Amino acid sequence: MTLKNGEYRLDSNNLVKTTHGLSVNADPNAVAKFGGAYKIQSLPNGLKVIQRGQNLLHFEIVPQYAMTLEQYQSLLYQVVLVKI
């Protein structure tokens, strides 16, 4: 999984905040235009999934603790997805 600008927030120390991250959705119809639905099979230590916003099917994969952008991206590369 590759980050895009705007999918994360940095704190005053240039570390990725634990409050925002890569957007995912549990509704297959909502992600069809982005290449289809995938199930998260494995999430590495250092990342967690949080629900975001009024849409109860919208989630974000965020850092469990403040970390560098490079660390965050490295962990996202380790997420294992399975096409649904």
31-63 pLDDT, tens digit each: 888 888 888 999 999 999 999 999 999 999 999
Tokens of 48: 């967690």
Question: From the centroid of its chain, how far is CA 80?
Answer: 12
- Contact indicator for 52, 58 with CB cutoff of 8 Å: yes
Residue with tokens 């919208």: 58
The chain-wide mean pLDDT, for the chain, equals 94
Q: What is the model's pTM?
A: 0.90
Question: Which helix H or strand E contains 39, and what residues bound it?
Answer: strand 38-42
